[in-house]
């Protein structure tokens, strides 16, 4: 199998057109896509630590959810120099599927939706980010699933009581901006996402939206593990996880 | 004492000119500044909950750190309607001192600087936000102070060892954007602030900056309590805290 | 009848989607749309004077053509404080239909078109603002109608002679910017609107467009009176006019 | 005397640097400034009518207050074609002094200030536009002067009573935008300017500012006549007025 | 024949809608389109030199490829004064067909495509600018045609060998920005256009794109001559070329 | 000598603060500035060809006039991948001094000024770019120097005769935009720079500015050779030129 075969496979699974505008998805670093592919490293972040591990484990392709850079640069020193030097010296191709992997069928948001067994599921946003549907069970049932599969100790902002069988919204990663909390408060009773900050917490309380922060990391890694299993299953190559 | 006397006092203590551009400081809601002032409510946030308490406690002025609105509006319904209705019906003046109170002498950042007994203290940013100086003691000493006075259980991103007597940066509230982490990594060994999120954590690890998130709430309320004491001391009126 | 029924009725008559981009239409101030509706105040402007009368007459809903605010705000003092305080203390719902009411069928522009008995009527602008059609009669006939029904003493910029049976453009309110005069000069012989200013007058003379300023107020109130009659006719509630 | 001498004279009287940003002042049309100057036409507007008269009267220079164009163009047809053709064929130099003539010593605003014999006069705006000072007399005295020297029939928005000896603001031309009314309401009791429109009238009433619209034309032509007299007095050339 | 007939003819041949956004095409200078048309001057540029010749040859219409102005102006002195004065005094209508003439059927780009006998021709850009197709012959054949019909001494940036029967892109005028070179390098082997500058030359070498600069002038005049012949052929009027 | 010593030397000679806004000067690629420096490569452009030569010649630092990137990027493939890979694998530091080297004392513009022995030299632009002064000699003398030292065959746009002892403007690299030609036409009789294109040539003819294009390359390399000699003279390391 060649690198270009892997890329073709990923781009069928999570088409780049699904990414939201301004996102940096696809090939991040690399020139020769015709080289052979024996081992894939998979990670949430292309951090320096992950890239060093990718080198140690001699991966051919490093596949990450978060892109290498959001904001473009034109000078190369410090951390980004170190990252590029390792990737280039060791001929490691870096490829990212970010919001296209959140959005796509069987992607990170669908993974959360399945975890909670949501019924009548719809996109939370028109662009495909997030899911909202009916959770059949009590708030305690919901918390138990969250603690078992996502995070032992989530932050719970419980601004009001929740009846059994409630509307649940989920969004992998960071979905807790103030405008997001306002938007979701009109769509759901309970909202699970990551990276809760002070002002959003206050706003959720005012709006009566119950918010659970199960961390950016955990809400994305849950689905990434499914992706990893799928890659092992479908491609005849080794896949090793580097930060989960 | 009249409301305008209180405002004059605050604006001498925390001049509005110190606020960073675009901030919303000063009179938020109110028209008659000549009314008598017997009781002040003080709070971090002008949340609906706080405003209801302000009404229950019959305060004349509600003095908050965070402003009522950052982004302007032109329609009045929902939560903001409820807030304005209470304030207007009960003649409660809402006044906020935000980044001017962070920046000013004996303000929220100076309070943190004093807490750690920093030496050779300088502004962290040219605009006066944050403080950086020498902490005399070990990292364990630092953590002990943090846990005793700010937050029992802070998040610690310890990307490398810290020698005794280190450069410590502090910034009350939210100081942990990615650009802030990058900026501070060139100014200090350890950085205490609030509202840590995933990408900033990864970046701090890559840059070798030790970051402590003692929460947005706790890093600001610590200094607000000093302000409350000062108000009681200097003005002959009652001051009651409404969310701390 | 409830407030929400009134709103539903208005939004069928003058759908919000017809408003031009950036306009502020719909609910301006109010939270509980389930309250009973016995008396409607109708006005061109939600001025302080009108709002005081709305309170004196104990209206449940104040329905105006001009919105409360065009530019959004984030501090509440002075005139806007006084307006909001009255509306909130007396539970008066403020609702505005602005350019959607200009544009819609049987709205303010159609009222002017009917007044002059225009034939082969078309929208003056693609967005639905204004009307243009054939006026069957002499310029003196036209002036007589104007003086009888709109304004006793209109300003007439008569840059050239007008033959009988001419192309007449009408636009309620303010339609006399320089770019509007230029635009209309290619569509009509005579143009009736409001708020004429110096530079537009000079331009009309240069372009040979005959312009009549029957005032912003009168060109809008003419149609508002029809709306008032229609409301009385269709809804079982009292409707009183507050500034016309 | 040559055209360049005239221009030098005007630019000493009303330096171009005084003009507000974005204004179009100075040479509008013309190339040869070395030609002899025997007759100057002076006008408020370089309208087509004025330019035709300038040709008929064989002026060498047409000196106007309003510029030929505010917004730049790149195609030449219609009215602007006709204007340029006359000016170019007849070698008429068009020169404008706009906001620099409003602002300068003995310019259009100073003329209004002198008319009312204002005391303790200051700039209304920091950029030099408008004047504000003490009017010694009753509101009726003020109206009498206005009607005698500016306009027989000014529009008066009298939102409240005016005591004798009041603060009067004057601004030649158009000074009645809504933001201007708001600004002036904190500086003066009475405000005289031109081009009043509906929303500004309502706002003046709400803010309790007494506004008099003596027309854009009349408030500028009053000072222009003084300028004409001064030109006749100082330069040895004929000066004829073309639109006043 | 009248001027308006000529304009109608041109606008059928090169519809204005084909011009790229922001281009200035169509009537540049002139008001009376009903005047008789006996002689057309045609030129690449409406330069002062060309306009003087247009006057000397007493043309009724000056038809150019480049417009009079790209950026709009509001003051008229120096070169543009001289140009407008001649055109207006001598009643010469100036009309330009710029990118619409590049793009249209049998326009400037099609002329280049035909010159090289390209096969399987497509638009180079989606907006219709440029052409790309198969050149049947050797690079030497290509150079010979170029030197015979366009420019004796073109600049050739030959960054690599070119096989017989290669992909050739052509674009009349200026097509050699750095972004254009990058774009075309993925579409063709060889690229002919005009106005090559240093950075584009370096980039072409790095990307392995063979670039030929046959000058802006020559790549446009080649097609303009065809247009001239076509005008002579189709209209019963004299057409004289003024800068080629 | 270490790399940081070299950088310190250059930044004293051509301080980064002199660069015009938005320029990309200073360290382009590299992290360890403490490594030893034995051989410097100097070039106009960090082209792929130059970087390959830098590797072949085993330089420690590549010092170029043009920066690696003007516009920032966030994906690394193709030519930029190849460039970074070579630089990183071979530990070559890339450092650029661009407009700061044009502007600084004894920089590229001063080199041109000295070449022509200009008298009463001033900056051409306020920001330090270009030089203008008196050339003592005939236009033929000027051309002889140009052909001897800069380019055998410069493009000469001779729109009018030039008297002996004329005002000469020089600007290394690209100085021939249309706005530059207009600006310089009011400052000098003759203008030498590089990268002449069609529209600027026409404009120079209209404005009567004599323009000489001695190429972007040659007008910059002339001064770069002086810089190379100075580096050899002042630093005890080998300096080899890679594209001149
Ligand atoms: Fe994420
Ligand atoms: Fe805060
Ligand atoms: Fe209106
Ligand atoms: Fe004016
Ligand atoms: Fe062209
Ligand atoms: Fe250059």
Tell me the CA–centroid distance for residue D4 and ligand 4, in Å.
25
Q: Which of F30, F67, F74 sits opposite A24 (nearest CB)?
A: F74
Q: Which of D69, D78, D89 sits opposite E74 (nearest CB)?
A: D69
Domain of E208 in residue numbering reads as 105-213
Among F101, F117, F143, give the residue marking a domain's end.
Answer: F101
Closest partner residue to A76 among F29, F75, F78, by Cβ? F29
With beta carbons under 8 A apart, name residues in chain D contacting E82: 31
Q: Does A204 touch chain F (CB under 8 A)?
A: no
Residue A220 forms part of a structural domain: no
3-state SS, one letter per residue, for A141-208 = HHHHHHHHHCCCCCEEECCCCCCCCEEEEEEEEECCCHHHHHHHHCCCCEEEEECCCHHHHHHHHHHC
Q: What SS3 state is found at C154?
A: coil
Kindly state the average pLDDT of the residues C35-54: 98
Asked whether the ipTM of the predicted complex exceeds the cut of 0.90, the reply is yes
Contact F77 A24 (CB under 8 A): no
Same domain, C75 and C135: no
CB atoms within 10 A of CB A108: 29
Same domain, B197 and B136: yes
Residue A96 contacts residue A68 (beta carbons within 8 Å): yes
Task: Find the F218 Cα to ligand 6 centroid distance in Å.
Answer: 10
Q: Do C197 and D216 touch (CB under 8 A)?
A: yes
* Domain membership flag for residue F235: no
Q: Are residues A94 and A112 in the same domain?
A: no
Per-residue confidence (pLDDT) for residue F32, from 0 to 100? 94
Tell me: the pLDDT tens digits for F67-115?
999 999 999 999 999 999 999 999 999 999 999 999 999 999 999 999 9
pLDDT at E136: 98
Which residues partner with E62 through β-bridges? E41, E94
Q: Can you give the pLDDT at residue C172?
A: 98
Q: Which of D76, D92, D97 to mutate to test the interface with E (most CBs of E within 10 A)?
A: D76
Q: What is the mean pLDDT of residues B120-126?
A: 98
Give the whole-angstrom CA distance, residue D97 versus residue F232: 60
CB of A152 within 8 A of CB of A161?
no
The verdict on B172 and B148 lying in the same domain is yes
Using CB atoms, list chains with 3+ pairs below 8 Å to chain A.
B, F
Residue E110: CATH number of its domain: 3.40.1390.30
In this complex, the residue of C48, C205, C206 whose CB is nearest that of residue D206 is: C48
- Residue C229 CB partners (closer than 8 Å, separation 6+): none
Q: Which of residues 21-50 of B touch A (CB under 8 A)?
A: 45, 47-49
> Nearest residue on chain D to E29, judged by CA atoms?
D76
Q: Are A19 and A104 in contact (CB under 8 A)?
A: no
Interface A:B, ≥3 CB–CB pairs < 8 Å? yes
Interchain contact C53–D (C-beta under 8 A): no
Segment B17-37 shows an average pLDDT of 97
D198 with C202: Cβ contact below 8 A: no
B54-80 per-position pLDDT tens digit = 999 999 999 999 999 999 999 999 999
Residue A32 Cα, gap to closest chain F Cα (Å): 9
Separation CA F209–CA F187 (nearest Å)? 10
Are E208 and E117 contained in the same domain? yes
Nearest to F78 among A31, A72, A75 (CB): A31
Q: What is the pLDDT along chain D (244 residues), one digit of tens a residue?
A: 999 999 999 999 999 999 999 999 999 999 999 999 999 999 999 999 999 999 999 999 999 999 999 999 999 999 999 999 999 999 999 999 999 999 999 999 999 999 999 999 999 999 999 999 999 999 999 999 999 999 999 999 998 999 999 999 999 999 999 999 999 999 999 999 999 999 999 999 999 999 999 999 999 999 999 999 999 999 989 999 999 9
Distance CA D39, CA D240 (A): 8
At least 3 CB pairs under 8 A between chains B and D:
no
- Which chain C residue is nearest to residue D220, measuring alpha carbons? C198
Of B58, B8, B44, which Cα lies nearest the Cα of B227? Answer: B44
Binding-site sequence positions of E for a divalent metal cation: 65-66, 102, 216, 220
Distance between Cα D48 and ligand 4 center (Å): 17
Ligand index nearest the alpha carbon of residue D171? 4
- Report if residue C119 sits inside a domain: yes
**What burial class does residue B196 get, using C-beta atoms within 10 Å of its C-beta: 0-12 exposed, 13-18 middle, 19+ buried?**
buried
In a domain, A224, yes or no: no
Contact with chain A for residue B205, Cβ under 8 A: yes
On whether the CB atoms of residues F29 and F3 are closer than 8 A, the answer is no
Structure tokens at C229: 């009659």
CA B52 from chain centre, in angstroms, equals: 21
Q: A42 to chain F, minimum CA–CA distance in Å?
A: 19
Gap from F195 CA to chain E (nearest CA, Å): 5
Residues 6+ apart with CB under 8 A from A228: A42, A239, A241
- Which of C67, C98, C129 terminates a domain? The answer is C98
If you measure from the C-alpha of residue A152 to the centroid of ligand 2, how many angstroms do you get, rounded to a whole number?
28
Work out how many CB contacts closer than 8 A connect B with C.
Answer: 74
Categorize the per-residue pLDDT at F159 as very low, low, confident or very high, splitting at 50, 70 and 90: confident
Three-point CA angle E153, E158, E161, nearest 5°: 130
Ligand closest to Cα of D96 equals 4
Q: Would you state the pLDDT for residue C159? A: 85
Residues of D in contact with C205 (CB under 8 A): 47-49
F123 and F82 within one domain: no
Tell me: do D111 and D207 sit in the same domain. Answer: yes
For residue B159, the model assigns a pLDDT of 85
Q: Which long-range contacts (CB under 8 A, 24 or more apart) does F135-140 make?
A: F135/F165, F135/F166, F135/F167, F135/F168, F135/F190, F136/F165, F137/F164, F137/F165, F138/F162, F138/F164, F139/F164, F139/F166, F139/F190, F139/F210
Per-residue pLDDT at E27 exceeds 90: yes
Residue A85 belongs to a domain: yes
CA dihedral of residues A180, A184, A186, A191 (deg, nearest 10)? -140
Asked whether residue C157 is assigned to any structural domain, the reply reads yes
pLDDT of residue C6: 98
The answer to the question of whether F66 is labelled as a binding residue is yes
Q: In C40-171, where does DSSP find H-type helix?
A: 48-56, 78-89, 99-103, 108-115, 139-149
- For the four alpha carbons of D132, D137, D138 and D140, in that order, the dihedral sign comes to negative
Binding annotation of D for a divalent metal cation:
65-66, 102, 216, 220
The Cα angle at residue B209 between residues B207 and B215, in degrees rounded to 5: 130
Question: In the numeric block, which tokens belong to residue B64?
Answer: 């908050």
Chain D residues touching C96 at Cβ < 8 A: none
Look at C74 and B68 and tell me if their CB atoms are within 8 Å.
yes
Q: Give residue A48 CA to ligand 1 midpoint distance, Å.
A: 17
pLDDT score of F2 more than 90: yes
Say if residue F92 is in the same domain as residue F122.
Answer: no
Number of neighbouring beta carbons within 10 Å of residue D34 = 8
Comparing CA positions, the residue from E21, E22, E25, E222 lying closest to residue E127 is E21
- Burial track D136-147 (b if 16+ CB lie within 10 A, e otherwise): ebebeebeeebe
Q: Whole-angstrom Cα distance, residue C98 to residue C108? A: 10
Are C and B close enough to touch, i.e. 3+ CB pairs under 8 angstroms? yes
Same-domain pairing of A142 and A179: yes
Contact C76 B28 (CB under 8 A): yes
Q: Please give all residues whose CB falls under 5 A of ion ligand 6, grouped by chain where several chains appear.
A: F 173
Q: Along the 244 residues of chain A, how does pLDDT read in single tens digits?
A: 999 999 999 999 999 999 999 999 999 999 999 999 999 999 999 999 999 999 999 999 999 999 999 999 999 999 999 999 999 999 999 999 999 999 999 999 999 999 999 999 999 999 999 999 999 999 999 999 999 999 999 999 998 999 999 999 999 999 999 999 999 999 999 999 999 999 999 999 999 999 999 999 999 999 999 999 999 999 989 999 999 9
**The pLDDT of residue F35 is above 90:** yes
Contacts of A216 in chain B (CB under 8 A): 197-198
Grade residue C58 by pLDDT with cuts at 50, 70 and 90: very high
- According to DSSP, the residues that pair with B39 across neighbouring strands are B238
Count the domains in chain E. Answer: 2
Q: Do D71 and E75 touch (CB under 8 A)?
A: no
Contact E24 D81 (CB under 8 A): no
pLDDT digits (tens, 9 = 90+) for B138-184: 999 999 999 999 999 999 999 899 999 999 999 999 999 999 999 99
Residues forming a β-bridge with D228: none
User: What is the tens place of the pLDDT at every residue in E41-68?
Assistant: 999 999 999 999 999 999 999 999 999 9
Alpha carbons C47 and E89: distance in angstroms, whole number: 57
Yes or no, beta carbons of E47 and F202 under 8 Å apart: yes
Pair C134, C176 in one domain: yes
Kindly report the nearest CA distance between residue B242 and chain A, in angstroms.
Answer: 14
Residue contacts between A and B (CB atoms, under 8 Å): 43
Q: Which ligand is nearest to the CA of B175?
A: 2
Measured CA to CA, the distance from residue A178 to residue C187 in angstroms comes to 48
* Percent over 70 (pLDDT), chain E: 100
Q: Are residues D42 and D131 in the same domain?
A: no
Q: Are residues F56 and F80 in the same domain?
A: yes
| Mean pLDDT within C126-150 | 98
pLDDT of C198 > 90? The answer is: yes
Which residues, 6+ apart, have CB-to-CB distance to A69 below 8 Å? A24, A28, A80, F74
C-alpha B98 – ligand 2 centre gap (Å): 8
pLDDT tens, position by position, E151-165:
999 999 998 999 999
**Cβ partners under 8 Å of residue B186, min gap 6:** none
Q: CB neighbours of D204 closer than 8 A, spacing ≥ 6?
A: D157, D159, D181, D185, D191, D210, D211
């Amino acid at each position: 199998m060649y690198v270009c075969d892997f890329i073709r496979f990923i781009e069928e699974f999570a088409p780049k057109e699904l990414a939201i505008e301004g996102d940096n998805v696809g090939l991040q670093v690399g020139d020769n896509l015709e080289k052979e592919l024996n081992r894939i490293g998979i990670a949430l972040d292309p951090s320096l630590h992950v890239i060093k591990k990718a080198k140690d484990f001699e991966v051919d392709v490093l596949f990450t959810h978060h892109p290498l850079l959001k904001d473009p640069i034109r000078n190369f020193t410090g951390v980004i120099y170190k990252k590029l030097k390792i990737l280039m010296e060791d001929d490691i191709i870096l490829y990212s599927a970010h919001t296209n992997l959140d959005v796509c069928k069987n992607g990170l948001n669908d993974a959360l939706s399945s975890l909670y067994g949501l019924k009548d599921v719809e996109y939370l946003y028109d662009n495909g980010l997030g899911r909202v549907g009916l959770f059949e069970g009590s708030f305690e049932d919901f918390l138990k699933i969250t603690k078992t599969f996502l995070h032992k100790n989530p932050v719970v902002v419980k601004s009001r009581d929740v009846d059994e069988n409630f509307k649940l919204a989920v969004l992998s990663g960071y979905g807790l901006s103030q405008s997001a909390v306002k938007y979701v408060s009109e769509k759901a009773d309970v909202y699970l996402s990551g990276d809760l900050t002070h002002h959003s917490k206050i706003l959720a309380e005012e709006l009566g939206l119950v918010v659970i922060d199960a961390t950016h990391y955990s809400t994305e890694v849950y689905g990434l593990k499914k992706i990893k299993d799928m890659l092992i299953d479908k491609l005849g190559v080794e896949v090793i996880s580097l930060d989960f």
